[in-house]
Each structure stands twice: as C-alpha cells, then as structure tokens.
Chain A
C-alpha cells in the first residue's frame, strides 16, 4: 500500500527527535536514509503517472459525454492524489527535522569552524545538499554576528559565570593570544589562569578546556 514507506521514514525521524530530546549532549544526526527516500520518490513518480492517467481518462469521458463513471474516476483520482500528498508531507517533515537539527548544530558550534572540526566522521551522515545547507547557515550566523549585532555574544551561555577567572588547559597548539593581562603562548598541555571572557571563544572552538 502506498504511504507505508513514508510512515517508516517518519517513525525514524520521531526516534531521532526523541533521542535528541533525551540526551543533554550535542545534537546528533543519524545517517540520511537515502534508500528509503529514493524508494518513496519512486512511489511518488508512480503515483504521478497514475494521476495523469486518471486525469486523461476523465477528460476523455467528459468529451464523450458519458457521465456515469465520473464519480468513480474521481475517487480513484482522489486516492492517488492523497497518497501523493501524504508522501510529500512525510518527506518534508523528515527533511525539516534534519534541517532544524542542523540549525542547532550550527548554533552550538557558534557558526564557525564548521567544516574544519566536522570534516570526516560527522559529515558523512549528511548528504551533499545538507552539507551545503549547513555551511551556508553557519555563514549566515557568522555574518549576523559580525554585522549590527557584533556587540552582543548571541551564542554565549545564558547562565551568568560564577567566577571571573578560570583555569584552562590547552588542547591544541594555537600560537600566541593577546589579552588585557598580557600575552599567552598556547602550547599543547600547558595550563593557564585566565579571565573567562577572554578565552570563551577558544573554548568553543575546542582549543582550550576548562578545568
């Protein structure tokens, strides 16, 4: 029966949503279910052919003036049409969930360094179009933050910091950074006692770790 594959897809999407609701960790996207989507699309083109056929039949019947079968034809037409709409809705809902998750990934990662930090493992779950989407969405965030809203750290935490100064450990070499209190040379595995607001960005980018 038409629409069953699409139902499977939505159930999968629902599971993804629940998993992401449950864990407090970073948003994760499962692998794009290419095979299922492709099969649904096949179904859609089949339905389209059916619909075109029925529409043609209806026209022919109307021309011949035989009105007896018109409601039956309409029923066939409707059923196919509704199956088509249903498949469309399921596909869109699936894609919308993924798009939403990608949005929150971009926000979590502060809209920067997306392609760099993600390059291998995580990106394989996305299709090419989705990778483009993610990249462009991240660019949009960066653009917005460097534009009129440059003074506000939009992706900063909403909870006020408990301490002004924190201990951090360097995870990756990052060269020298300059702060009000002097210059730090970030060498891997060294530790510093620095002002939190100075290093916030570096923590988000994964160079430093708060201890």
Chain B
C-alpha cells in the first residue's frame, strides 16, 4: 500500500454509496450542484478516499481533545454512513458462491481485491474476508494453469514476456489488476524454473 502506487491510488478512487447523516451546506459540488446544500439522508456516490475518512471521523468533538466532547457527547455519529458498494454486494457474492472461475471480476471492479481488503479492514467483515479468500484460492489455481500453458507455448522466446494478457482466453480478460500481477508472476516463475531445469 505504497503512497505512490498507481493501483492503490485508483482503488481509492472507486465509488461507494454513502448516506449523509448531517445537513451540510456548501458541499453541493459532491452532487454536481456547486454551492448547494447536502441534506441529511441524501445518498451520494463518494470516492473511497473521501468516504472512508468521513465515515470514521466522528462529527462531535474530534480533534479538540476533550474540549468539546462533554457538550456533544450524545452526538457521536460520523458525517456519513457507508453502504456496501455494489462490487461487494449480495449479487456479486452470490456469483462468487456459484462459480468463482466464471465471475468476471474485472467487470465487477478492476481493483476488486484491493477494495475488499479495505472493506474488511474498515468493518472487520470476517464473512466477506472468508468468501474473498475462497474466491482467490479457486481462481489462483486457474490462473496458474493458464500461466503454465502460456509459458509452454511461448516457451523459449522472451518476446512473450509475461504480458500477453491480450484476450488469448476469455478467462484472462476477467482478471482484476492484482490478479494480473499474480498471472505475470506465475508465468515468470514457470519460465525461470524451466530455464533452471534445462
């Protein structure tokens, strides 16, 4: 999770539906209405980098170190309430249970695993963590299979340098960004091993 990691930055930009718990004037630009007011109860799609802070920071007293906490003790709601994003919603999870290999993870969310990781870390969602881990386990075997097959085809020529994910198989088009990395690593490992064995 490096600060400069592009995938990480992009994952932070994925949108999550959020419900505002307070009426805040001047934030209309979030809704495409600059200068407008966001009323309590409005649901907006906010990028994760905004939502994850607003959902954690408590509206009353934070940052004042005990000064204002006494008066606002009863008001401990965060600014917004995050709702489960579509990519981790029941529909997708049902598809995960049905057939992990057939699921088009890339179409669901290009940074699916990164997003799931964030979500698990934020809400300690053990059930989700277990399901995603199961999904990865199933798909990893498939990915490895493809990597080995691809390595055998393009075998000795270095021109097939791991990056031939150009729709050689429909399955490979469904990999999310992180899985592509796994695929490349598997291919490289396979190539190195065969070179060593020779």
A residues contacting B by CB (< 8 A) are 1-3, 7, 10-11, 13-14, 17, 21-22, 24, 67, 70-72, 74-76, 78-79, 82-83, 85-86, 89-90, 92-93, 96-97
Contacts and interface: CB of A to CB of B under 8 A. Distances in A.
Contacts of B3: 89, 92-93
Contacts of A72: 22-25
B-side interface size class: 35 or more
A97 B6 contact: yes
9 contacts: A1-B32, A2-B29, A10-B9, A22-B161, A24-B159, A75-B54, A78-B57, A79-B54, A82-B49
Given A22-B163, A72-B23, A78 B13 contact: no
B71 A67 contact: yes
A13 B161 CA distance: 21
The prevalent SS among residues of A at the interface is: helix
Interface string B6-31: 11011011000000001111110110
B29 A10 contact: no
Contact of A14 (B6, B22, B68): B6
Nearest to B110: A14
A82 to B, nearest CB: 5
Nearest to B80: A75
Contacts, number: 83
Interface of B: 3-7, 9-10, 12-13, 22-27, 29-30, 32, 47, 49-50, 53-54, 57, 59-60, 62-63, 68, 71-72, 75, 79, 158-159, 161, 163
A70 B54 contact: no
Contacts of A78: 53-54, 57, 79
B32 A71 contact: no
A132 B10 CA distance: 29
A14 B75 contact: no
